[in-house]
Amino acid sequence: MNGSRRRSTASPFGAGRIVFWRGGSLWIGHAARETENHAHHAIQITLALAGGMLRFRQPGQAWASYGAAIVAAHASHAFDARDTLVALVFVEPESLEGRALRERYPDGIASLDGGLLAEQADWLAASYARHDGDEALASCAQAVTTGLSSMHHSSPKPLDKRIARAIDLLRERLADAVQMSEIADAVHLSSERFRHLFLQETGIRFRPYVLWLRLEVALARYEAGSSLTEASHAGGFADSAHFSRTFKRMFGVTAIGVQRA
């Protein structure tokens, strides 16, 4: 993220890089403080790089420490990775790998065997230290997802083709006001059947999913150097305040507090 536009009095959450690809993203760097409680649509694979430790807390519970952990989609949690290099690999639950992970880790926060992902974690840390390009970082992060999902003993059921097509249409039309009835009609389903099937296949209702996609677009633009206002409009938010509120609710920190290293 472009530090020249970030002269805010708000205390920064941390510094690092964010890289996106279809079906996921990587957030890697150092955090300066813990997040507030939050929940998001993505499955979150979290690795403490270079031998560090992480802490997670679920509502009503005490902090617990991990070397590596996975957070289920929509699981409320707070996160603390101060004093360590950390990688957060976000996986869309409706992707093929996400569906495998969702079956194996359906709820809450689970500890992962860091030894099984040690090679991929080392690749990530080395790529980040070399200041590799986004494509190289994404490749390292996707190796984490592939490695973990391949431990699933059975192949997950593919996403329903009608819902897969609906998601493609949504991504194409995010610049406009998106109506569920139009998307349902485009994939030859009634609105009621589409509503039920969409929730069943993705684990999220239609309108919150559209908001999640808009947040992804806005954040990618913000990471690329756009102002908060420009990024908000690119994602289809009414204004930067709406984008900022949504970001904090889903990630537990302010967007302006995430800085590029």
According to the model, what pLDDT value does residue 50 have? 78
Tally: H helices and E strands in the chain: 9, 10
- Residue spans of the domains in the chain: they are 3-157, 161-203
According to the model, what pLDDT value does residue 10 have? 54
Confidence of residue 156 (pLDDT cuts 50, 70, 90): confident
| Residue 78 pLDDT exceeds 60 | yes
Residue 45 CB partners (closer than 8 Å, separation 6+): 68, 69, 70, 88, 89, 90, 91, 101, 112, 144, 145, 148
Closest CA to 39 of 215, 195, 197: 215
Confidence of residue 8 (pLDDT cuts 50, 70, 90): very low
Confidence of residue 123 (pLDDT cuts 50, 70, 90): very high
| Residue 11 pLDDT exceeds 80 | no
| Residue 178 pLDDT exceeds 70 | yes
Hey, is 20 helix, strand or coil?
A: strand
According to the model, what pLDDT value does residue 210 have? 96
| Residue 4 pLDDT exceeds 80 | no
Mean pLDDT of 248-255: 93
Of the given ranges (40-44, 189-193, 243-247, 257-261), which has the lowest mean pLDDT? 257-261
According to the model, what pLDDT value does residue 83 have? 83
Closest CA to 46 of 37, 55, 38: 55
Sole residue written with tokens 């806005």: 218
Are the beta carbons of 60 and 101 closer than 8 angstroms?
no
* Average pLDDT in the chain: 90
**Count of Cβ atoms closer than 10 Å to residue 187 Cβ:** 19
Are the beta carbons of 201 and 163 closer than 8 angstroms?
yes
Position with higher pLDDT, 176 vs 79:
79
Position with higher pLDDT, 11 vs 123:
123
**What is the total residue count of the chain?**
261
* Per-residue tokens: 8: 């805010």
Cα gap 50→70, rounded to integer Å: 18
183-221 pLDDT, tens digit each? 999 999 999 999 999 999 999 999 999 999 999 999 999
Q: What is the CATH number of domain 3-157?
A: 2.60.120.10
Mean pLDDT of 241-260: 90
Mean pLDDT of 106-118: 90
